[in-house]
Amino acid sequence: MKMQKKYIILIALLAVLIIPLACKKSFLHQTNTFSSTVGSTFNKPQDVVALVNSIYDTYQNSDFMKKSMWYYANFLTHDWYNNGNDVVWNNYTIPSTFGALSTFWNDSYIGIARANAALPIIATAKAKGVIDQALADRLTGEAYFLRGMTYYYLAGTFGGVPLELDTSTTEPTTGLLPRSTQDQVFTQIVSDMKQAETLLLSKTTLPSGDLGRATKGAAYAYEGSAQMWLKNYAAALAAFNNSEITNNYHLLPKFVDVHEFDHQNNDESLFEVQFDLPAGGTQDWNGSWQPPGGELGWIDSFGWPSEITGQGYDYGSPALEYSYQNGDTRKYATILGPGDTIVSPGIIAQWGGIKGYPNVTGGYAAYLAAPNTDVTDKNRYTDGHGNIINSNGTAAYPWYGTDGTARSGYTDAKKWRDPNLTGGSGPQKLFGSQNQILMRLAEVILSRAECKIRLGDNAGALADIALVRNRAFGGTAPLVFQDGLQVDGTPAPVITDPMQMVLSEYRHELTAEYSLMYLLRRAGIDAATNKPYDEEFIHKVNHVAGAGPDNNPNPIIYPFGPTSDGKTHGVTYNDIPTGHDLLPIPQAAIGLNPNLKQNPNY
């Protein structure tokens, strides 16, 4: 009987032990300590501001801006070529699997979703009194602006794209919408920009700490351009003529200053993507574009001559340099050929010009150490008279690249402005923190000129073009429109057709920025020939009869440059194939959304 008592105790004990297991459902409740839930966020104004900041962050990505937008805007025009892994751009055979296209597509839609999601959260925060009406308006305006601007570049690059506008965060879209037409997208952009125009702050009222945020002026500029894509030239003209643009933005007196490192967010800039070198950050590969690095630009030093940086992934077409009209100050501020010296005041102040870069001083020192035997350094780093070189190669020995692969010897001078960078040599400083201008007043003025031409006001158009050209020529531009040499080295004919004047000005003003190909394609079909303006223009400025494809046995003879030795040095002469003025929808996007149809001819 003694034992039975023991059993009873034991049973009771174990029963007590089992019972707690059965009762506590709360055991399974766990609080997320890794990420925030909606309830734990957006209770302070800065939380709501941060929500909108992340939409801007979409653009801080090298594949997004450089390898998609910039490549499209410039490689397709054949003013510029690639000498890295992306040589497929040089002959218009960009595959739908090109990696950066996916980044561009995906990040655009993520940015659009961020904008969509921000709209109801801002409204809720306003209703709860977390933010006031003024801040709610501004933030809502920024969300509309950024959504519209992202659609602008998507549609500009791919044509019609799916219009994702659902703002619900709890019932996410399936992401299976098919493509809308290009016109539907631009109609939506107009609508978004119109909302933004009413809600955003004017440049005049934007606090200095918010420099870089979208303004009413920027919204009018993008609305105007979107209207042009829709052929609503009168509406576009009205947008461009809005006082938010005309009163608040001004052309800088000197063209060279527009892209200078110490002129970021200047008076001409309507919208630029902001970059910054954070305290403690580096500009070497550790601080690079790849995860988990920072968010610096991948556009500056990578395009400089490989003789200076060991890289040299972009190079220019001699045809571009030779096409500048005599006296145009934009020429050397845009492209440097063999023997040309750098004109950037910032670079000259920092390095004394090209002669100050470590590879140049090192190479020159190597030459001095062995002046009779070191032919490589002599050719590369002296001016031919025993002095250190201070030009972009020399006419006798162009900088074709240290690795001898195909490069023309011409360099992008618009992106050679950041005095902090040295490229891949020495204590590497590769990644730049210079802002990237997407929209500036000169583009608006030239677009406005195109509108006027379309509306029959040629005189007005010429007046607008003159605004841009006068600055380019350092005061007063010649009245005759005449490019320099043509691609075959012969003098160019005088341009008399106003539309061709505008296209030529788009090129000479805006090449190597984020606009040119977009503007050429926006022009649409040339009624006189029933051919797309972009095809015609690119053919005209890059192609001559008999030039033929790359490796042509009889290349065009320039005084210097890629053909001075009878080789083409990576300059190709093929025309843009039909339909390839659009990029292919990324294969991966089609794989995930079978409702997407590829662009024709891809």
Partner 1 sequence: MKKNLLLNGINSSKRSVLIILLTVFTSCIAFAQTRQISGKVISSDNESALAGVTVKIKGTSNGVATDANGSFNISAPSNATLVFTYVGYVPQEAIVGKSNVMNIRLAPDMNTLTEIAVVAIGYGTAKKSDLTGAVSSVSAATIAKVPVTSLDQALQGRAAGVQVTSNDASPGGNITVLIRGVGSLATNGNGPLYVVDGFPLDNGGINNINPNDIASIDVLKDASATAIYGIRAANGVVIVTTKKGKKGTAQVSVDAYTAFQSKPKEYDVLNAQQFATLYNTIAADPKQSVALPAFPTYSDPSSLHNVNWQDLVYRSGLTQNYSVAIRGGSDKVQASTSLGYYDQKGIVLGSYFKRVTFGNNTDYQPTNWLKSSSSIKYTFQDSQNPYGSQLINGGSLVQLTELPPTLDGGNKLTYLPSDGNGNFGFYNPKFTEISSYSNPLYTINNNRSYGLNNFLLANTSLEAQIISGLKIKSNIGINTSNFAGSYFSPEDDRAFNQYPGSQITNAFYSQHINSTFNWLWENTLSYDKTFGKHTINFLAGGSEQKTFWNGMGGSGIPPNGVIRDLAQVSNLKLDTNTPAGSNTGNGSNIYDLQSYFGRLTYNYDDRYILTGTVRRDGSSKFDESNYYGTFPSGAIAWKAKQESFLKNVNWLSDLKFRGSYGEVGNQGAILPFQYQELFSTGLPASANGGGVDNLGYPFNKLYQNGTAEIQPANIKLKWETDYQTDIGADAAFLNGDLTITADWYNRRSKDFLLSIAVPAQTGFNYLTQNIGSIDNKGFEFAANYNHNVSKDFQYGVSLTVATVNNKLTSVNSGASYIQNFGGLNVPGDGWATFSETHIGQPVGEFYGYKSLGIFQSQTQIDALNAAAVAKHGAGSVYQHPNTQPGDRYFADTNGDGIVDANDQVSLGSPLPKFYGGFDLSATYKAFDFNAYFYGVYGNKIFNFQESVLESFQNRSFVGVENVSTDYYNNYWTPSRPSTVYARAQANDDVEGNNVASSAYVENGSFLKLKTFTVGYTLPHSLLQSINVSKVRLYVSTQNLFTITSYKGLDPEIGIQGGNPTQNGIDTGTYPSSKYYTIGLDVTF
By CB under 8 A, what part of segment 499-558 binds partner 1? none
CA 273, CA 43: separation in Å to the nearest integer? 28
Q: By CB under 8 A, tell whether 424 contacts partner 1.
A: yes
- Report in angstroms how near the CB of residue 364 gets to partner 1 at its nearest: 9
Q: By CB under 8 A, tell whether 123 contacts partner 1.
A: no
Angle between helices 133-158 and 45-57 (to 10 degrees): 10
For residue 405, count CB atoms less than 10 angstroms from its CB and return exposed for 0-12, middle for 13-18, buried for 19 or more: middle
Instruction: Annotate 365-398 with DSSP letters as a single string.
Output: HHHHHSTTT-HHHHHHHB-SSSSBP-SSB-SSSB
CA 206, CA 482: separation in Å to the nearest integer? 42
Q: Which residues contact 26 (CB under 8 A, 6 or more apart)?
A: none
Please choose, out of 183-191, 275-283, 451-459, 555-563, the segment that lies near partner 1 by the rule CB under 8 A: 275-283
Applying the rule CB under 8 A, the residues between 334 and 393 that interact with partner 1 are 358-359, 361-363, 365-366
- Report in angstroms how near the CB of residue 176 gets to partner 1 at its nearest: 5
CA 111, CA 151: separation in Å to the nearest integer? 10
Instruction: Show contacts of 487-490: CB within 8 Å, 24+ apart.
Output: 487/319, 487/322, 487/323, 487/541, 487/542, 487/543, 487/544, 487/547, 487/556, 488/544, 488/547, 488/556, 489/322, 489/556, 489/557, 489/558, 489/559
* Residue 171 CA to its chain's centroid (Å): 33
- Report in angstroms how near the CB of residue 519 gets to partner 1 at its nearest: 24
Q: Which is nearer to partner 1, 4 or 133 (CB)?
A: 4
Please choose, out of 225-233, 254-262, 284-292, 455-463, the segment that lies near partner 1 by the rule CB under 8 A: 284-292
Q: Which is nearer to partner 1, 286 or 490 (CB)?
A: 286
From the list 65, 258, 406, 465, which residue makes contact with partner 1 (rule: CB under 8 A)?
A: 406
Q: Which is nearer to partner 1, 362 or 524 (CB)?
A: 362
Q: Which is nearer to partner 1, 29 or 385 (CB)?
A: 29
Applying the rule CB under 8 A, the residues between 62 and 91 that interact with partner 1 are 84-85, 87-88, 91
CA 246, CA 181: separation in Å to the nearest integer? 32
Q: Which is nearer to partner 1, 105 or 514 (CB)?
A: 105
From the list 117, 155, 413, 571, which residue makes contact with partner 1 (rule: CB under 8 A)?
A: 117
- Report in angstroms how near the CB of residue 255 gets to partner 1 at its nearest: 24
Cross-strand partners of 81: 315
**Residue in 563, 584, 582 with CA at minimum distance from that of residue 572:** 563
Q: By CB under 8 A, tell whether 265 contacts partner 1.
A: yes
Residue count, binding to partner 1 (CB under 8 A): 125
Applying the rule CB under 8 A, the residues between 429 and 448 that interact with partner 1 are none
Print the binding letters for residues 145-164 with partner 1: x by CB under 8 A, - otherwise.
Answer: -----------------x-x
Q: Which is nearer to partner 1, 114 or 507 (CB)?
A: 114
b/e burial code for range 178-201 (CB count within 10 A of at least 16 → b): ebbebeebbbbbbebbbbbbebbb
* Residue 428 CA to its chain's centroid (Å): 24
Print the binding letters for residues 191-230 with partner 1: x by CB under 8 A, - otherwise.
Answer: -----------------xxxxxx-----------------
- Residue 286 to residues 58, 126, 311, 423, 436, Cα–Cα distance (Å): 21, 41, 17, 14, 22
CA 502, CA 25: separation in Å to the nearest integer? 72
- Report in angstroms how near the CB of residue 582 gets to partner 1 at its nearest: 15
From the list 148, 303, 310, 532, which residue makes contact with partner 1 (rule: CB under 8 A)?
A: 310
Q: Which is nearer to partner 1, 82 or 504 (CB)?
A: 82
Task: Answer for the pair 333, 345: CB distance below 8 angstroms, yes or no.
Answer: no
For residue 390, what are its two tokens? 């201070």
CA 414, CA 513: separation in Å to the nearest integer? 8
- Report in angstroms how near the CB of residue 63 gets to partner 1 at its nearest: 9
Report the relative pairing of strands 481-482 and 531-532 from DSSP bridges: unpaired
Q: Which is nearer to partner 1, 129 or 291 (CB)?
A: 291
Q: Which is nearer to partner 1, 229 or 289 (CB)?
A: 289
Instruction: Specify the 3-state DSSP secondary structure of 567.
Output: coil
- Report in angstroms how near the CB of residue 455 gets to partner 1 at its nearest: 35
Q: Which is nearer to partner 1, 57 or 457 (CB)?
A: 57
For residue 222, what are its two tokens? 């993008």
**Residue keyed to tokens 């049973």:** 11
Q: By CB under 8 A, tell whether 167 contacts partner 1.
A: no
Applying the rule CB under 8 A, the residues between 47 and 66 that interact with partner 1 are 47, 49-51, 53-57, 60-61
**Residue in 482, 478, 461, 458 with CA at minimum distance from that of residue 470:** 478
Q: By CB under 8 A, tell whether 114 contacts partner 1.
A: yes
For residue 131, what are its two tokens? 């933010």
Among the residues of 166-290, which ranges form H helices?
182-199, 216-229, 233-240, 243-246
From the list 127, 128, 175, 386, which residue makes contact with partner 1 (rule: CB under 8 A)?
A: 175
- Report in angstroms how near the CB of residue 18 gets to partner 1 at its nearest: 5
From the list 35, 133, 476, 530, which residue makes contact with partner 1 (rule: CB under 8 A)?
A: 35
CA 562, CA 69: separation in Å to the nearest integer? 27
Please choose, out of 9-17, 69-77, 327-335, 390-398, the segment that lies near partner 1 by the rule CB under 8 A: 9-17
Q: Which is nearer to partner 1, 129 or 292 (CB)?
A: 292
**Residue in 348, 345, 331, 181 with CA at minimum distance from that of residue 263:** 345
Please choose, out of 12-20, 338-346, 469-477, 490-498, the segment that lies near partner 1 by the rule CB under 8 A: 12-20
Q: By CB under 8 A, tell whether 459 contacts partner 1.
A: no
Applying the rule CB under 8 A, the residues between 567 and 586 that interact with partner 1 are 574-575, 577-578
Task: Answer for the pair 295, 435: CB distance below 8 angstroms, yes or no.
Answer: no
- Report in angstroms how near the CB of residue 511 gets to partner 1 at its nearest: 24
